Amino acid sequence: LTKLGVSAEKLMGSAWQFTPRTIDLNRGIQLHEPHPDGTVHATLSRRYDRRLARAYGWHGGMFKLK
């Protein structure tokens, strides 16, 4: 998200606040990092997908895997 113009701020615990800086979005979003191993599994990936879709209208087809 930081490459898209959104700043990332570590909050308490596993929470991260992403706040738009250089792109025109109305609000920020909080996501929790996966634990204990830090791997984003399919279930969590789908949850992030739904949250980003509701907040910004983004969908998976807008992104490319490297």
CB distance 58 to 52 below 8 Å: yes
The reply to whether 65 falls in a domain is no
Strand partners, 8: 18
pLDDT of residue 63: 79
Residue 39 Rama label (left phi>0; alpha psi -120 to 50; beta):
beta
**pLDDT number for residue 49:** 87
Host domain of residue 54 = 2-60
Which segments in the chain show pLDDT lower than 50?
Answer: none
Is position 66 within any domain? no
Going by C-beta distance under 8 Å and a sequence separation of 6 or more, which residues neighbour residue 62? none
Q: Give, in degrees to the nearest 5, the angle at Cα 8 between 13 and 11.
A: 20
- The model's pTM is 0.70
Per the structure, how many domains does the chain have? 1
